[in-house]
Amino acid sequence: MTSPGEPSLPVGRAGHPGPRWEGDGSLGGPLPGAVPEGAAQAAMRGLRSHYAAATDREYASFARRLGAWVVDEAAKTLLWATIVITVTVITGNVPGSPSGDFDLVALAPRFVLSSGYDWLFWMHGWTPGANLLGVRIVRADGEPPGAGRAAARVAGSWLSGAAFFVGYVWMVRSRHRQTWHDSIAGTYVVDVPREDAVAR
């Protein structure tokens, strides 16, 4: 209650006095020296890395990822053929299984080479195919996956492929266009500008 002659204050919705005018025109305005809303966020954005900025871009399309995969598989095949030819020239024998038959044992070195290729490049967030198609593999914070996540992604890719490649096609229905191995490793594949699509 106010005493007689004392001006009443405006009452807010919660029953508390509203803002008091101090005669300086600051009714309802920010306090002197206050940082405008959003300035802190803008400063943080300025400190983000090149890879963090990439997470603001579009997720890579199925077509671009498929193109990158085809390029990488071609590179693996070329590398494997080079190794086979080299070993054949040196030893005089074509590498194969102990029984001489074409079986899973004969495929094991090719499988190891493919997995090693993926792990080596994925840990840095790119492959030759990804470079050519202008996409990058990143974590949620925009940084490259690193050795641990790359290993998890390789293992997840085995599952994606073993399930008749359903794990790869899964990105079509994923909100973040993630394959099974992306979800397992916590990675995303995003588009990057052509001028930034260089090995790092």
Task: Summarize the confidence of residues 66-88 as an average pLDDT.
Answer: 93
For the chain, what is the total number of helices (H) and then of strands (E)?
8, 2
Q: Model's pTM, two decimal places?
A: 0.66
Q: How many domains does the chain have?
A: 1
Token couple for 26: 């600051």
Residue 50 lies in a domain: no
Residue 52 lies in a domain: no
> Domain of 127?
57-196
59 beta partners? 190
Tell me the per-residue pLDDT of 174-197, one tens digit each, with 9 for 90 and over. Answer: 999 999 999 999 999 999 865 554
Q: Which of 73, 76, 69, 99 lies closest to 168 in space, CA to CA?
A: 69
- Cβ neighbours around 97 below 10 Å, total: 13
Whether 192 contacts 136, CB under 8 Å: yes
Per-residue pLDDT at 132 exceeds 80 = yes
SS3 59: strand
